[in-house]
Chain A
């Protein structure tokens, strides 16, 4: 949420809903090399399917948010993002997760003007097909 003075000295408030931040974060995380996929839990999947159904009624194809939870506080303004994902075993998991943290923080800031106070990453699976060493 951002507040700014409009030219006519009218207070303008822009509210950014958590699914928007989640979609931006999901897009950024999925593009980091070494990320195989985002992992929605059951609650995330249910929420995502509900959102998809609601959007389809309106004829829209929603941006994916599965595997990402965004938390927005209004007073004081704060954004936190949690991401669950699977990585390839080719890069060090900790390094890839840090790259995800940086990419998501940057993308959310650029897209919304809000800098997340925390981007937490949970690696739920490491794919080791093709070898490790």
Chain B
């Protein structure tokens, strides 16, 4: 490995330059030092410094450490939390301070409840604060569904029942309005 030009012609008091000492590091290490190298204090001091430098640069060159999976997952989790923090709906609490829940968390619960009905696949779910200012804890929900082709029409009542129950029992929200939009049919 050659030193860069900034170190060339850097003469030691003994007359040798640093480049020379660098190039002969391995030779001296292997016990093939010449008479000057064995006795010269300047060469010896330079050699010791260069060995330290070489050790450090090798360590850095070999360091292929990537961010730990733990750190990566924490960053991804933080990004997800950041997105979810944007749209929050309030929940009731008698304690001092607010309780809010992200609309995406509510949507996941309601979609899951709708999916529990045979022949139903929940798709998009929108959760919006109800315009009724007298009940700030109520929300409007629009839930898009795909249904099996043999799906009974009265089964939509079961979907409505389960989604409403899940909103109250699992989240603590009251649905002021629940719109079910059947947007597709699939083969069961």
**A, B in one complex:** yes
Residues of B within 8 A of A81 (CB): 97
Contact of B93 among A84, A94, A125 (CB under 8 A): A94
Majority SS at the chain B contact face: helix
Known A123-B99, A133-B113; judge A95-B172 contact (CB<8 A).
yes
- B100, A123: Cβ atoms under 8 Å? yes
- A120, B99: Cβ atoms under 8 Å? yes
Q: Does B40 contact A (CB under 8 A)?
A: no
Residues of B within 8 A of A44 (CB): 78
Known A45-B78, A89-B109, A94-B172; judge A123-B94 contact (CB<8 A).
no
Q: Name which of B29-37, B145-153, B161-169, B180-188 contacts chain A.
A: B161-169
Q: Does A119 contact B (CB under 8 A)?
A: yes
- A124, B85: Cβ atoms under 8 Å? yes
Residues of A within 8 A of B99 (CB): 94, 97-98, 101, 120-123
Known A45-B75, A84-B81; judge A97-B170 contact (CB<8 A).
no
- B82, A126: Cβ atoms under 8 Å? no
Q: Name which of A2-10, A12-20, A35-43 contacts chain B.
A: A35-43
Q: Separation in Å of the B140 CB from the closest CB of chain A?
A: 18
- B97, A118: Cβ atoms under 8 Å? yes
Residues of B within 8 A of A123 (CB): 91, 99-102, 105
Q: Scan residues 28-72 of chain B and give those whose CB is less than 8 A from a CB of chain A.
A: none
Q: Does B154 contact A (CB under 8 A)?
A: no
Total number of A residues with any Cβ neighbor in B under 8 Å: 35
Give a binary string over A24-40; 1 marks a CB under 8 Å from any B CB, 0 the rest: 00000000000000011
Contact of A92 among B96, B102, B169 (CB under 8 A): B169
Can you give 10 contacting A-B residue pairs, CB < 8 Å? A44-B78, A89-B109, A92-B171, A92-B172, A94-B171, A95-B172, A118-B98, A124-B85, A126-B170, A133-B166
Q: Which residues of B contact A (CB under 8 A)?
A: 74-75, 77-82, 84-85, 88, 91-102, 104-106, 108-109, 112-113, 116, 162, 165-166, 169-173
Q: A93-B170, A119-B97, A125-B81 are in contact. List 19 more A-B contacts (CB 8 A).
A: A40-B81, A45-B74, A92-B169, A94-B91, A97-B99, A98-B95, A116-B97, A118-B96, A118-B97, A121-B93, A122-B88, A122-B100, A123-B102, A123-B105, A124-B84, A125-B104, A126-B101, A126-B171, A132-B112
